[in-house]
Structure 1
Amino acid sequence: MNRSARSRLTAAALTVAAVTVGATACSSGSGGTSTKAADGGTYTIWDPYPQFDKSSAWAKLLAGCGTEAGVKIKRTSFDTSDLTNKALLAAQQDNSADVLIVDNPVVSTLAEAGVLTTTDDNKLDTSQASPNLLAAGQSGGKTYGTPIGANTLALYYNKAVLKEAGVDIASVKDWKSLTAALAKVKAAGKKGITFSAIGTEEGSFQFLPWFWGSGAQLTALDSDRAVSALSLWKTWLDKGYAPNSVINNTQTTSWQEFASGDYAFSENGTWQLANADKAGFEYGVIPVPAATGGDAAAPTGGEFVTIPVQGDTGRYATSQKLVSCLTNSQNLLDTDTTLSYVAPTTEVQDKQVAANPNLQPWVDAVKAAKGRTSDDLGTKYPKISEQLWKAVQSALSGSASPKDALDSAQSAVK
């Protein structure tokens, strides 16, 4: 590794701010930072799935891919936020894992730090991955891995609450019709919509479908379209269509409000599907509508499988075989079903829907989704996101108008 790459690593290690969302319920994990065994027949894989132990289907899949490639696998799992720092430190020590699976917004951080190889370097075929999902792993015109699966946001709805309010879900096609439905729900004595607007990345994550659905861009937080999106949320609070609790809600506490059975809608993700089935009432799912109709782009969650830079470049060929195995159609189907992810390829998405037709709205949402670091934002995204959630907090709390809050956000980003 050359001196400039080491300098980038040092800077990244000091400033890294991992962008994570509580998309999957991961317990804390631990593991050593040693990645290479003495013999060249052992390849190391780091992942953010400490909830899966040695007996899990995931661990068996990794071992099976190792067998197929003719090598042994040494797997180490870390909590999502811890994994980024461990990867940066290992790269400084020229001791990176052979295969690294990371949350998709982290890819640009690691790429800019010189930690990851490009697909041109490692010859990984990404042609089957959906372009909108692959974009989360692209920076400076180069691709740094392939998605293993995706989750995103959509609107869950309570069928009984909507029926009582006289709302036909088919009529909800844009912001105007959604707001009209919320007004009917309130008039019927029920509660409208709940979401997370907390002052963290979760708040930005939940606001982005409305922000992008207005036609706004993250490079211009103060645009008229951006103001319209924040004004929408503020109007819902002012009219009592959404509770004031959204200001402090995480995605988990927001879901708990919806699970009470009193709300018509909840903005939440694929990771709540199991909980939805246990809620005790009939529910449905629709993509978040854009301002004037159609599906809004919601942010993608999920991980990328990457191949870190190695001093011994001869290892890349086997690492590529391991990644190709993990992301082939059958293994994607098995893995994404386990993780409650929508697959990153159309072929496997079709198989998922064939097995479970209720996944269709989630597939539609993922097809419209967008990476938070897309548009070549890369490591600029965390700063933009922080100012965005601060603006949302200011506007919803009443300390600033939506326009003033977003003007301040844009000034801070500059």
Structure 2
Amino acid sequence: MKRTRTLRGATLVALAAITLTACSGGSGTAAGDGGDAATTYTWWDPYPQHDEGSDWAKRVDACGQEAGVTIERTAYDTTALTNQALLSAQEGTSPDVILIDNPAVSTLADTGMLTTTDDLGLDTSTIDENLLAAGVVDGKTYGVPVGANTLALYYNKAILDAAGVDPTSITDWATLDAALAMVKASGKQAITFAATGTEEGSFQFLPWFWGAGADLRHLDSPEAVQALTLWKSWLDQGYAQQSVISNSQNTTWEEFLTGSFAFAENGTWQVNSAAEAGFETGYIQLPARDGGGAPAPTGGEFITAPVQDDTDRYTTTTKIIDCMTTPEGLVQTANTFAYYIPPTSAGQQQLLSEHPELQTWVQAVNDAKGRTSDDLGTDYPIISEQLWTAVQSALSGAKSPQQALTEAQAAAEAATR
């Protein structure tokens, strides 16, 4: 097996953190029985919470049957899956199919262990380009997204009504600021978000960063400074509490569920929880600085095929992947995991015919962006660490937004040369 280069240790450690940001969790393993190698295809995914009797496992088995083979499925914790995939490539024991968190695709591709969609003859023409981009490295596409989740702004309707805020009036940063001021004047907590010093902090900051027009290759641009200044102003004006500096996304959500906050930045994966809250909720897209929806980062997995010595196996592998990514198959995945938005227009329209209340999320995914897009590849974890470090420094008051981001840019450039 060819390998283009070995990953730097720091990149692999940072990648492990990224995989915990916006995807389903769990621990443990679930494997099928072995069988004849010619008729048994191996499949790894990050869904140990879905055991052999689950709808998900039955879907995987059904696609194997349609392709004329038996699928032996093994499920790992998300982070363990990435590490196990890299180890299998070194040992020459890679499975036929790996469903992997999208930021990890470029890392696996960088080792030379993944086939391209051209190698498999997969048609990606119907997949939304902004979602497919997370799997593009040096102009080649590795894998197909099975769905996407992203961020939006949840709101507590009772608090907004009492403050006289119409959520549909929030279309840019200025109108959001005005709404936060009205909520604070009414005596309620305005907004909560996660600015913790991990990948989750970068994940939550990126919509504001990209929504200002900033670029991850230029962390100290005027647009980037404007985005960080916005977050800092929310703390200075009392719209957000200082505790956001240590908030994880789970902590943020727990705060919102107390009913004390007007707004919370969180993800598609909380849709069911919001519906079950003890108060009426809604959600709007995160606004870009000058209007419209901000590009929020995407979570979600890609279905990939590692390189095999026996290339004749690719024909059946392609059949399995095709089965999993039909419009109906993508909607089944969305319904199975409750928060996935299909990566194709046909799949999205079919999902909306069943769940019209998800229109905001479909639009958010249409406007979203992969964290490793712009061909950042394995540089992304390094840049992201400098970004969340700058956010922490600025929000704590240790440095100005400009100083924090200037230092972050210098550190990122030195580490990615």
Q: TM class, shorter-chain normalised? A: over 0.9
Name the residue aligned to 1:368.
367
**Secondary structure at the counterpart of residue 264 of structure 1:** strand
**Secondary structure at the counterpart of residue 301 of structure 1:** coil
**C-alpha distance in 2 between matches for 1:255 and 1:369:** 21
**C-alpha distance in 2 between matches for 1:411 and 1:238:** 27
**C-alpha distance in 1 between matches for 2:254 and 2:335:** 24
Distance change in 2, residues 1:170/1:202 (3 Å) = same
Pick which of 300-309 and 17-26 moved more.
17-26
Name the residue aligned to 1:347.
346
Name the residue aligned to 1:68.
66
Name the residue aligned to 1:397.
396
Contact in 2 for aligned 1:21/1:205 (Cα 8 Å): no
Name the residue aligned to 1:237.
235
Contact in 1 for aligned 2:30/2:73 (Cα 8 Å): no
Name the residue aligned to 2:382.
383
**In the alignment, does 2:263 pair up with 1:286?**
no
Look up the equivalent residue of 2:330 and give its one-letter code.
L
Contact in 2 for aligned 1:152/1:369 (Cα 8 Å): yes
Q: CA deviation at 1:36?
A: 7.7
**C-alpha distance in 1 between matches for 2:19 and 2:235:** 27
Q: CA deviation at 1:15?
A: 4.9
**Secondary structure at the counterpart of residue 105 of structure 1:** helix
Name the residue aligned to 1:134.
132
Name the residue aligned to 1:412.
411
Name the residue aligned to 1:56.
54
Residues 207-263 of structure 1: CA deviation (Å, up to 9, x unaligned): 000000000000000000000000000000011101111101010000111111111
Q: CA deviation at 1:35?
A: 11
Q: CA deviation at 1:90?
A: 0.6
Q: CA deviation at 1:23?
A: 2.8
Distance change in 2, residues 1:338/1:318 (3 Å) = same
**C-alpha distance in 2 between matches for 1:76 and 1:36:** 11
Contact in 2 for aligned 1:35/1:95 (Cα 8 Å): no
**Secondary structure at the counterpart of residue 394 of structure 2:** helix
**C-alpha distance in 1 between matches for 2:163 and 2:266:** 22
Name the residue aligned to 1:21.
20
**C-alpha distance in 2 between matches for 1:13 and 1:90:** 17
Q: CA deviation at 1:156?
A: 0.5
Name the residue aligned to 1:318.
316
Distance change in 2, residues 1:386/1:73 (3 Å) = same
Q: CA deviation at 1:11?
A: 3.7
**C-alpha distance in 2 between matches for 1:138 and 1:97:** 21
Name the residue aligned to 1:197.
195
Distance change in 2, residues 1:120/1:35 (3 Å) = farther
Equivalent of 2:245 in 247, 252, 255: 247
**C-alpha distance in 1 between matches for 2:64 and 2:335:** 21
Name the residue aligned to 1:124.
122
Pick which of 121-130 and 177-186 moved more.
121-130
Q: CA deviation at 1:30?
A: 2.8
Pick which of 366-375 and 12-21 moved more.
12-21
**Secondary structure at the counterpart of residue 74 of structure 1:** strand
**C-alpha distance in 2 between matches for 1:263 and 1:70:** 53
Residues 248-282 of structure 1: CA deviation (Å, up to 9, x unaligned): 10100001111111111110001011110111111
Look up the equivalent residue of 1:404 and give its one-letter code.
Q
Q: Give unmatched runs, 5+ long, in structure 1.
A: none
**C-alpha distance in 2 between matches for 1:12 and 1:71:** 38
Q: Give unmatched runs, 5+ long, in structure 2.
A: none
**Secondary structure at the counterpart of residue 176 of structure 2:** helix
Contact in 2 for aligned 1:150/1:300 (Cα 8 Å): yes
Contact in 2 for aligned 1:171/1:177 (Cα 8 Å): yes
**Secondary structure at the counterpart of residue 158 of structure 2:** helix
- TM-score, reference length from structure 1: 0.96
Residues 194-217 of structure 1: CA deviation (Å, up to 9, x unaligned): 000000000000000000000000
**Secondary structure at the counterpart of residue 343 of structure 2:** coil
Distance change in 2, residues 1:37/1:16 (3 Å) = farther
**Secondary structure at the counterpart of residue 245 of structure 1:** helix
Distance change in 2, residues 1:206/1:175 (3 Å) = same
Equivalent of 1:87 in 85, 88, 91: 85
Q: CA deviation at 1:24?
A: 3.9
How many matched pairs?
Answer: 409
Matches within 5 A, 1:272-311: 272-311=270-309
Pick which of 166-175 and 369-378 moved more.
166-175
Residues 75-125 of structure 1: CA deviation (Å, up to 9, x unaligned): 000011111111111111111110110000000000011110011111111
Look up the equivalent residue of 1:67 and give its one-letter code.
Q
Q: CA RMSD in A?
A: 1.6
Name the residue aligned to 2:167.
169
Q: CA deviation at 1:171?
A: 1.4
**C-alpha distance in 2 between matches for 1:35 and 1:287:** 45
Contact in 2 for aligned 1:12/1:109 (Cα 8 Å): no
Q: Quote the sequence identity (%).
A: 59
**Secondary structure at the counterpart of residue 249 of structure 1:** coil
Look up the equivalent residue of 1:117 and give its one-letter code.
T
